[in-house]
Structure 1
Amino acid sequence: MSLVKEILAKAEKLPAVPAVVQQVLALVQNPEFSFSKLIDTVRLDPGITAHVLRMANSPFYGLRQKISSLEQALALLGTRNLVEIVLSTQVVKYFQVDQGGYRLERGELWRHCMATALLAHRMGDMLKYQDTATLFTAALLHDVGKLILSQYVGERYHKIERMVGEDGKSFVEAEREVLGVDHALLGGLVARHWNFPESIVTAIAFHHAPERAAKYGQLTALVALANVLTLSMGFSGGAAGLAVPMPEGLAAMAGFGPREMDKIALEVKDINDKATELLNLAG
């Protein structure tokens, strides 16, 4: 079996996300979905329900009263926060593995992904972007391909590093040349394997090439921009984060001008602190 076939086969064997996550994502794709249907869907999984209530009662959300039901959580936190709690508490388990191939400590990739998701969410608010659940999910999972590629990158790290340092290639380009596939495209395959909406599949697969995302261009550009900004501040990028350039025109593609970008830059440090707090809660 060739290396790339071995990698793709491993991607298809990654355990599926809980059915509740798939159902919640499918539900919120419809702007006229029923709140009661959302609650009934989450309630199907007692473990997820317990996670939601624990996080809703944490200092992170700053609520003054104790939350004892999903109905209360939805009323006080809103649909968007409820969906994001469901996603983050269920996705974290996939990231609780070693990513030493990317020179990352345990938990660093999850922190980076959460920071990227929170920043993408914040940018979506600034633009009044409609589908924030999809934006948050795509940003949270944008590096899911690294979970599989880490062991292969680690074995060939020095070759990849040399291509980046001496040939001026981005880390993604070097991944593709050495392994036959990069973490972004592999992540898109994982998202498709999990039966996620095509918008999320596309945003993950092309977050290093948003110009190729066709009708999901703005969504993908927002994920790409959030990723580059968190990496540029040194937040959990590991070795790969040192070779991720800011593509020309990316901010404009996402919908921002220079003035808005100055405001966003001020948000990044606060976002990383919040990501660390959520990391501790979700884990």
Structure 2
Amino acid sequence: MNESEIINYIEQSNRLPKINREFTNIISILDTSNNFDIDKLIDEISKWPTLKTSLLTVINSGYFKIPRKVYTLKDSVMYLGIKTINRLVLSYLIKCLLPDTLGRSDIIDRTKYLKHCLGTSIAATMIADKLGIEDKYKYFAYGLIHDIGNAVLDICLPGIINEVVKIQLKGVHQIIAERTVMEGCTHSDIGSWLCKKWNLPEDVNTAVAYHHTPLLATKYKEEAKIMNIADSISTLYYEKLLSLNTLYVLNETVADSLGITMDDIEKISKELPDKVEEMMKIINPSIFNSQLVS
């Protein structure tokens, strides 16, 4: 199937979650970016206490380096900033809408895949920190949902996922395998389509659409480049977990343009496994299994 046929199949299937009015309301609030109403957002989130509790658990984990425990999302804005809280809320909503429990591929290990997403989140944050980016923790949110295209395929077209993985097991890079199976289409294309369908913010769409092809991004170019390097670092970690022998591909042009050296990358790669395991102890995968759907 090509991209058009895949999207048509997903649209016609009954497996893609249909978002409810409350989710739409939250997206509308978040889409106002730095001007969004935090009190209105908190009122909407209060309808899902588990979501609020999960967010605060992660925020208070120590990873975000908040000087004291916070008890409300409003308090956390003081330390992390509106944009970071905005994107963290969004990432958790998307993960709840596309929980692992809906996945149907019989060949992938979803716990290990969650580790890849966390690895990308953590690596991206470390890169942003290295670059002195003030709003570095928004990259944690990008990492959680950068591969939503894979989640959609796992839910709606698991056979495609199975075929891609079988080709990967022969040592072929994931993107090449996807383009072979989907006639030029990739999980990034499917993810970008979903971002547009759900009216997600443009910077989120960029992280989803261009984390493999950052030089093609026309906006949020730095975000796309950081996500590309972070995803590459985490992919190596993830493929080691799966005992895959795919050649590790790092875009040195992108790294150089950011001022990231191979020493920086090796340092992040070395620290990543322990940091992922620490975060897995904090994030219970089951928190993403409460669907916010109608």
TM-score, normalisation: structure 1: 0.77
Q: Which amino acid aligns with 2:61?
A: F
Aligned to 1:152: 159
Aligned to 2:221: 217
- In the TM superposition, 1:174-253 aligns within 5 A as 174-180=177-183, 181-234=185-238, 238=242, 242=246, 245-253=249-257
- In 1, Cα distance between equivalents of 2:250 and 2:234: 11
Question: Residues 240 and 203 (structure 1 numbering): CA distance in 2 closer, same or farther, change over 3 Å?
Answer: farther
Equivalent pair of 1:145/1:187 in contact (CA under 8 Å): yes
- In 1, Cα distance between equivalents of 2:25 and 2:240: 29
Aligned to 1:8: 7
- In 1, Cα distance between equivalents of 2:75 and 2:206: 34
Q: Which runs of 4+ in 1 moved over 6 A?
A: 62-66
Question: Residues 23 and 52 (structure 1 numbering): CA distance in 2 closer, same or farther, change over 3 Å?
Answer: same
- In 1, Cα distance between equivalents of 2:191 and 2:206: 10
Unaligned runs of 5+ in 1: none
- In 1, Cα distance between equivalents of 2:273 and 2:263: 18
- In 2, Cα distance between equivalents of 1:214 and 1:237: 34
**CA offset digits 1:76-103 (Å, max 9, x no partner):** 6654664454234323321323656483
Aligned to 1:56: 56
TM-score, normalisation: structure 2: 0.74
Q: CA RMSD in A?
A: 3.6
Identity rate of aligned residues, in percent?
Answer: 21
Of stretches 177-186 and 211-220 in structure 1, the one that deviates more from structure 2 is: 211-220
- In 1, Cα distance between equivalents of 2:206 and 2:282: 26
Offset at residue 238 of structure 1 (A) = 4.7
- In 2, Cα distance between equivalents of 1:184 and 1:23: 24
Aligned to 1:91: 94
- In 1, Cα distance between equivalents of 2:76 and 2:182: 45
Equivalent pair of 2:91/2:142 in contact (CA under 8 Å): no
- In 2, Cα distance between equivalents of 1:53 and 1:134: 19
- In 2, Cα distance between equivalents of 1:190 and 1:203: 13
Question: Residues 44 and 145 (structure 1 numbering): CA distance in 2 closer, same or farther, change over 3 Å?
Answer: same
Of stretches 206-215 and 11-20 in structure 1, the one that deviates more from structure 2 is: 11-20
Unaligned runs of 5+ in 2: 289-294
- In 2, Cα distance between equivalents of 1:244 and 1:48: 40
Equivalent pair of 2:88/2:141 in contact (CA under 8 Å): no
- In 1, Cα distance between equivalents of 2:136 and 2:69: 26
Q: Which has the higher contact order (CA 8 A, sep 6+)?
A: 2
Aligned residues: 273
Aligned to 2:28: 23
Offset at residue 70 of structure 1 (A) = 3.7
- In the TM superposition, 1:39-188 aligns within 5 A as 39-48=39-48, 51-53=51-53, 55-56=55-56, 60-61=61-62, 67-75=70-78, 79=82, 82-83=85-86, 85-93=88-96, 94-97=98-101, 99=103, 101=105, 103-129=107-133, 132=136, 135-150=139-154, 151-157=158-164, 160-161=167-168, 165=171, 169-180=172-183, 181-188=185-192
Of stretches 199-208 and 134-143 in structure 1, the one that deviates more from structure 2 is: 134-143
- In 2, Cα distance between equivalents of 1:176 and 1:14: 25
Alignment partner of 1:277 is 2:278: no
SS at match of 1:214: coil
Equivalent pair of 2:175/2:186 in contact (CA under 8 Å): yes
Question: Residues 243 and 7 (structure 1 numbering): CA distance in 2 closer, same or farther, change over 3 Å?
Answer: farther
Of stretches 180-189 and 54-63 in structure 1, the one that deviates more from structure 2 is: 54-63
Question: Residues 177 and 225 (structure 1 numbering): CA distance in 2 closer, same or farther, change over 3 Å?
Answer: same
